[in-house]
């Protein structure tokens, strides 16, 4: 009696066993990926339909210009803008830094060590000036809409928030006594997620995420005096780990497979680990809280050249 054939799995949905295969390339495909041709079956790449980068680009354009989708991205942008306007209303200067919201929410190691744990998250919704806010929100709109369309709202919001926490942990590791604000730690998490998805065969930004990432990292290090290197690198690592968790660390696909309890639990664990690392790094910060006599410069997380003239004047 012959041995049974080894099970095959859809090349786009690794968690789905199938007996079907493409008549052109021979790759295994599930029923959702099958197109019935006059002769044989076709995979998405050989079906004649728009696929890959062209399909993702079309999705992004539709979400951006036709007003559909990207609900979470829109909400996040709205929250960031609303917080900045609130800073101005509550006595902030043009850069939104001279007010209680900024003083109580900016990431600062000694304050976190003293019990202000919420700064690990609130700092990702604060910005030091309209230019900083505008650049980050433009990046969030361009990049976030595409990723949200691909992985869904629930996964996207989890990835965004955990990447923000990871960015705060990274900032506290490298510069614990430098007040830090900005959303680009989370935005770098989006780039990290796109990098993993591209490696899994699902390009989000036309397959150019590596070049985009290299450019942003080059800017980060070129302006490291006013940009939080730790915030960017931490967010990038957080985004990569979260996306790997969504794919159950290689056993599925981050966009197509169900993450299950293991995937969601892993993302929550990454968030908890980011908080733990941030608290540990904050405890290492020895200087006292900043005073009005010697305020430290604010390092803003920004994806472009950032101003370095703003200071945190102290609570």
Please give the DSSP secondary-structure letter assigned to residue 115.
T
- Is residue 132 part of the annotated active site? The answer reads no
d(CA 90, CA 100): 7
What's the CA gap between 204 and 219, in Å, rounded? 22
Residues in the chain: 315
DSSP letter for each residue of 22-83: -TTT--B--GGG-EE-SSSEE-GGGSSS--HHHHHHHHHHHHHHS--S-HHHHHHHHHHHHH
Query: Is 274 considered catalytic here?
Result: no
Catalytic residue, from 13, 46, 127, 232: name it. Answer: 232
Q: CA-to-CA distance for 119 and 287, rounded, in angstroms?
A: 18
End-to-end CA distance of the chain, in Å?
A: 80
Largest CA-CA distance found in the chain, in angstroms, rounded: 87
E strands in the chain: 8-9, 17-18, 35-36, 41-42, 180-181, 299-300
Catalytic residue among 47, 163, 168, 184: 184
Q: Which letter does DSSP use for residue 15 in this model?
A: T
Given a contact cutoff of 8 angstroms between Cβ atoms, the answer to whether 223 and 274 are in contact is no
Active site residues: 184, 232
């Amino acid at each position: 009696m012959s041995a049974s054939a080894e099970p095959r799995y859809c090349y786009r949905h690794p968690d789905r066993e199938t007996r079907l295969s493409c008549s052109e390339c021979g790759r295994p495909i599930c029923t959702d990926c099958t197109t019935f041709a006059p002769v044989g079956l076709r995979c998405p790449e050989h079906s004649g339909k728009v696929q890959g980068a062209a399909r993702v680009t079309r999705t992004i354009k539709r979400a951006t210009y036709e007003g559909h989708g990207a609900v979470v991205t829109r909400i996040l942008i709205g929250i960031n803008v609303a917080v900045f306007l609130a800073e101005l209303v509550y006595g902030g200067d043009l850069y939104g830094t001279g007010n209680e919201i900024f003083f109580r929410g900016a990431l600062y190691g000694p304050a976190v060590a003293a019990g202000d744990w919420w700064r690990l998250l609130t700092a990702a919704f604060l910005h030091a000036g309209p230019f900083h806010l505008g650049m980050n929100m433009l990046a969030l709109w361009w990049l976030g809409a595409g990723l949200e369309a691909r992985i869904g709202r629930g996964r996207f919001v989890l990835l965004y928030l955990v990447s923000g926490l990871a960015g705060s942990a990274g900032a506290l590791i490298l510069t614990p006594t430098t007040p830090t604000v900005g959303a680009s730690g989370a935005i770098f998490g989006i780039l990290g997620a796109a990098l993993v998805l591209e490696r899994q065969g699902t390009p989000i930004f036309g397959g150019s995420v590596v070049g985009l990432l290299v450019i942003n990292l080059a800017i980060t290090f070129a302006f490291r005096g006013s940009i939080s290197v730790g915030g960017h690198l931490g967010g990038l690592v957080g985004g990569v780990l979260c996306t790997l968790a969504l794919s159950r660390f290689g056993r599925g696909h981050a966009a197509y497979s169900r993450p299950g309890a293991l995937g969601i639990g892993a993302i929550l664990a990454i968030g908890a680990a980011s908080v733990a690392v941030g608290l540990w790094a904050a405890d290492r910060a020895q200087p006292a809280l900043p005073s009005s006599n010697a305020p430290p410069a604010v390092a803003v997380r920004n994806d472009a050249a950032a101003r370095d003239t703003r200071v945190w004047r102290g609570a």
